[in-house]
Amino acid sequence: MYEQILPDLYRIIIPLPNSPLKDLNSYVIKAADRNLIIDTGFNRDVCFRAMEEGLRDLDIDLNKTDFMLTHMHSDHTGLVSRLFTDSSKVYFSRIDSSVFNENIDWQAMLDYALQNGFQLEELVKAVESHPGFKYSPKKIPEFTFLDDGSIIEIGDFQLKCILTPGHTEGHICLYEEEKQLFFSGDHVLYDITPHIESWSYETNSLKNYMESLDKVRNLPVKLVLPGHRNLFTGLAGRIDELKKHHENRAKEVLEVLGVNTMGAYDIAGGMTWDIECENWEQFPTTQKWFAVGEALAHLLYLEDQGRIKRHKGEKTDTFSAP
């Protein structure tokens, strides 16, 4: 199943079972000599079947097809390992590609999670059930690296890469200036709020995210093509809503903290979440991982602005009013 958006531009909807995102938008640009597929789905059979069917109906020859991955998350990258051929270029952010590097320091991330209040047993469960570990690409292609300003040409589409750190450090959006199309990946979504998390004290993801929103806010855009859910118009308006959402969320963190000194894990437990669950204890472990990551993104943002203070603890770090 596919739908046509413009001449030579199509969308295949790839289901993401058990994910609150529901599905992924895979965009296909069909041209005489080469085709381009933007984002792919999880490395799972159910995603593969949907993709296969869409490509068959569109009469796409994978031997004449290149790929572009907006960012490293496995719902965007995972399936590429089953699709790329010897002739395929796989365009990918130079920065995000480091996550597929063998030498990545997972230990540092786990230490950071423990430092912020995760119990070891819970942490092991969170890692095991994390879709990023389960459905990531198994066979890693050789990437053609993208940086801010890189251009991908396909048919009469000229896609300019805009580096938009925040959702991930190396997230890349594509802008087609003449057609005024903006492939926003997970940087700007319409029906849901992109997840912003921080898994190292060195990365102020939310600050980066807010700056990346400003970076693209005033682009002349007729149609936004996001990584999930509905296509939309009115990029600037949506960006203003997202910025407001995060300022409100930061305020909520301050309210939970009040006059107390608390760790990120407990602060996340005091925040409101759009999930059907009686209380924090009953939160599914994977969701706890996302929640604590999001709480931390807002905590580091507030700390950077001098609105709260972080205290190094023996075992667990804490935050309080300055």
Binding site for Zn ion (CB under 5 A): 73, 186
Which CB, 73 or 249, lies closer to Zn ion? Answer: 73
Do 198 and 205 touch, CB atoms closer than 8 A? yes
Which CB, 75 or 176, lies closer to Zn ion? Answer: 75
Which CB, 133 or 251, lies closer to Zn ion? Answer: 133
- Residue whose Cβ sits closest to Zn ion: 73
Least distance in Å: CB of 295 to Zn ion?
18
Which CB, 73 or 238, lies closer to Zn ion? Answer: 73
Amino acid at position 281, single letter: E
Phi-psi domain of 186 (left: phi exceeds 0; alpha: psi -120 through 50; beta: other):
alpha
Least distance in Å: CB of 312 to Zn ion?
31
Least distance in Å: CB of 139 to Zn ion?
21
Do 40 and 67 touch, CB atoms closer than 8 A? yes
Least distance in Å: CB of 76 to Zn ion?
6
Which CB, 70 or 116, lies closer to Zn ion? Answer: 70
Contacts of 60 by beta carbon, 8 Å cutoff, 6+ apart: 28, 30, 35, 37
Tell me which H or E stretch contains 107: helix 106-115
Least distance in Å: CB of 168 to Zn ion?
7
Q: How far apart are CA 197 and CA 21, in angstroms?
A: 16
Phi-psi domain of 117 (left: phi exceeds 0; alpha: psi -120 through 50; beta: other):
left
Q: How far apart are CA 212 and CA 191, in angstroms?
A: 19
Q: Which of 281, 224, 83, 247 is nearest to 255 (CA)?
A: 247
Q: What is the 3-state secondary structure (H, E, C) of 209-255?
A: HHHHHHHHHCCCCCEEEECCCCCECCHHHHHHHHHHHHHHHHHHHHH
Least distance in Å: CB of 41 to Zn ion?
12
Which CB, 292 or 308, lies closer to Zn ion? Answer: 292
Least distance in Å: CB of 22 to Zn ion?
13
Which CB, 82 or 171, lies closer to Zn ion? Answer: 171
Least distance in Å: CB of 320 to Zn ion?
32
Q: What count of other Cβ atoms lies within 10 Å of the Cβ of residue 157?
A: 18
Which CB, 186 or 197, lies closer to Zn ion? Answer: 186
Do 270 and 253 touch, CB atoms closer than 8 A? no
Question: With DSSP H G I counted as helix, E B as strand and the rest as coil, what are the percentages for the chain, rounded to 5?
Answer: 35, 20, 40
